[in-house]
Structure 1
Amino acid sequence: MDNPAAQLPLIPFPYQVIKKLGNGSFGKVYLVINTTNQQQCVIKQLHPSSEQPNFIKQARRLFRQEAEILKKLNHPQIPKLIDYFEDKGEFYLVEEYIEGKTLRHELPSGKCWTEVATIKLLLEGLGILKDIHNLGIIHRDIKPDNFIRRQEDQKLVLIDFGAVKEFNLEQSRLLDPTIAMGTRGYMPTEQARGKPRKNSDIYALGVIAIQALTGKNPLELEEDEEGEILWRNLVTVDDKLGEIITKMTRYQHKLRYQSADDVIKDLHAYIYAKQQSCPPTQILEEKNKPSSIEDNYSNTSTSKINSISSSTNQSLKNQEDTSEKFSFSDWLKSPFGSTLTTALTIGVIATGGVYVMNQQQKAQIEKEKADFLTSLDTAYNNQNYLECFEKAEERLQDENNHISAQELGEYIGKCRLEEAKQKAQFLNYAEAVATAKQIPTQNQYHNQAQIMMEDWSRAIFDKAKHLYTEEGKLEDALKEIDTIPDNPVRQAGLIVVSQWQEEYRTNSYLINQAQKDLEYGNCQSAIETVSKIEGSNYWLLEGKKIVDQAEKCFQDQGIESNINTNNSTDNSSNNQNNQNNQELPDNVIICPPILCPE
Structure 2
Amino acid sequence: MISQLIDNRYQILRLLGTGGFGQTYLAQDLGRASKPLCIIKHLKPASHDPGFLEKLEQLYNRQVDILGKLGIHDRLPTLVAHFREEQDFFLVHDFIEGHTLDNELRPQMVWQEFQVTDFLKEMLVILNFVHGQGVVHGDIQAENIIRRYRDSKLALVDFVTIRQEQIQMQSEAGQIFLTIAVSTPGYKDEGEELQPQFSSDIYNLGLVAIRSLTGMAIDQLPRHPDSGEILWEPQSSISVELEHFINTMVQPQPEARYQSAAEALRVLQRLTEFYDLPAPGSADTFVQTETELLPPTDHSSDSMFGALLEKEQLQQIEPLLSPQSKASSGKSASETALPLQQPLVLGGLALALGLLVYLGFALLRPPQQDWQKVLDQAQAERSQKKYPECIQLADTLPPEQQLYNQAQSLAMNCQLDPAQDLARVGKLSEAIALLGKIPAGQRGYQQAQQLMGQWSDSLLAEAAEQYRRGDLNIALATLQQIPASSPVSKQAQEAAASWQQESQTNNQYLVQSRAALDGRKWQEAIDLVDNVKLLGQKVPRDSAYWKQTIEPIVQNAETELQKVNSGAFSASPSPDLSPTSPSPEASPSP
TM score, norm. by length of structure 2: 0.45
TM score, norm. by length of structure 1: 0.44
Of the two, which has the highest radius of gyration? 1
More helix by share: 1
